[in-house]
Amino acid sequence: MKYLKQFGIIITISFIGEILHHVIPLTIPASVYGIVLMFLLLLTKAIPLEAVKETAHFLIKVMPIMFVPAAVGLMDMWGIISVNLVAYVVLIILTTLVVMVVSGLVSQKMIRRKKEAKLDLEVAES
């Protein structure tokens, strides 16, 4: 029963993301609205992490299965893709590098902030 409740919370937030997608006139996908909404609700503790944790872990474990239809779609479109294969490979490599660099920089900045906050707390306690 716990998993049904947790899944219900996740689905409800995803549904609200769908509604926001239709109400707000931007080209942002509904899933992004749902993810941002879930993030904000978890950040503000309006929804405690424990309220969705187990089901979220399960969904992450089964996520690779969700890529099967996309892979089949790529195989089906191989005739179109093979014409521009070099461009696709270059684009994939460049975007992967950009994601890696940005992720690394953001992670480093967050680690520095956490260390600075810890040092400030230690100085304030002394």
What is the tally of helices (H) and strands (E) in the chain? 6, 0
What is the rounded average pLDDT for all residues in the chain?
92
Segment among 9-23, 33-47, 70-84, 91-105 with least mean pLDDT: 70-84
Q: What are the C-alpha distances in Å from 7 to residues 2, 30, 38? A: 9, 18, 13
Residue range 25-48: mean pLDDT, rounded:
94
CB neighbours of 88 closer than 8 A, spacing ≥ 6?
81
The string of pLDDT tens digits covering residues 53-108 is 999 999 999 998 988 888 888 888 888 888 999 999 999 999 999 999 999 999 99
pLDDT of 35 reads 95
pLDDT score of 13 more than 80: yes
pTM of the entire predicted model = 0.60
Tell whether the model's pLDDT for residue 1 goes beyond 90: no
Instruction: Show me where the domains of the chain are located.
Output: 1-67, 75-126
pLDDT for 101 equals: 97
Cα separation, 94 vs 99, whole angstroms: 9
Percent of the residues in the chain that have a pLDDT greater than 70, as a whole number: 100
The pair of structure tokens assigned to 56 is 């979220």
